[in-house]
Amino acid sequence: MMRQICIVILWLGIAILCISCQKQQKSQFQVTPQKSTDILQLTLHSYDGKTECKNFIQAYGHTFLEMTNLTNQPIDVYQYSVAPHASVTFSWWAVDRHMGIWFNLEPWYIDLYQRYETRSSVSIYIDENDLMTINTYMKENDRYSPFDNCSKMSLTCFNLVAEAQEKITMPLITTPNYVVSQLKQFKECVVAKPISSYGEIGYRTKTGFQFYRMEEREK
Partner 1 sequence: MRKVGNIIFSIIGPILLYLAIGNTYRGITGVTLIGENRAHFLGYYMIASAYFALLLMVIILLVLVNRKRRKKNERKNCKTSKL
The footprint of partner 1 on residues 57-86 (CB under 8 A) is: 57, 60
Judged by beta carbon, residue 6 or residue 14, the one nearer partner 1 is 6
Residue whose CB is less far from partner 1, 163 or 200: 200
Min dist. Cβ of residue 89 to partner 1 (A): 15
x/- letters, 98..117, toward partner 1 (CB under 8 A): xx---------x---x----
Give the residue with the Cβ less far from partner 1, 65 or 161.
65
CA distances (Å), 37 to each of 55, 110, 127, 133, in order? 50, 32, 6, 16
Among 41, 133, 167, 212, binds partner 1 (CB under 8 A): 212
Q: Which of 23, 97, 187, 206 binds partner 1 (CB under 8 A)?
A: 97
* Beta carbon nearer to partner 1, 55 or 207: 55
Report how far residue 178's alpha carbon sits from residue 175's, in angstroms, rounded to the nearest whole number.
5
Least separation, in Å, of the C-beta of 178 and partner 1?
A: 17
The residue range among 65-73, 80-88, 156-164, 210-218 that interacts with partner 1, by the rule CB under 8 A, is 210-218
DSSP 71: S
The phi-psi region of residue 59 (left if phi > 0; otherwise alpha if psi is between -120 and 50; otherwise beta) is beta
Using the rule CB under 8 A, give the single segment among 92-100, 120-128, 156-164, 170-178 that binds partner 1: 92-100
137 contacts partner 1 (rule: CB under 8 A): no
3-state secondary structure of 201: strand
List of E strands, 7-138: 40-47, 62-69, 75-77, 80-82, 87-95, 98-103, 120-126
Task: Pick the binder of partner 1 from 8, 9, 12, 94 (CB under 8 A).
Answer: 94
Three-class DSSP category at 43:
strand
CA atoms of 68 and 13, how far apart (whole Å): 48
Dist CA 63 CA 47 (whole Å): 6
CB of 74 to partner 1, least distance (A): 24
For residues 48-73, one letter each, b for 16 or more C-beta atoms within 10 angstroms of the residue's C-beta and e for the rest, the string is bbeebeeeeeeeebbbbbbbbbeeee
Q: Should residue 34 be labelled a site residue for partner 1 when binding is judged by CB under 8 A?
A: no
**For binding to partner 1 (CB under 8 A), which residues are involved?**
1-2, 5, 55-57, 60, 93-99, 109, 113, 146, 201, 210-215, 217
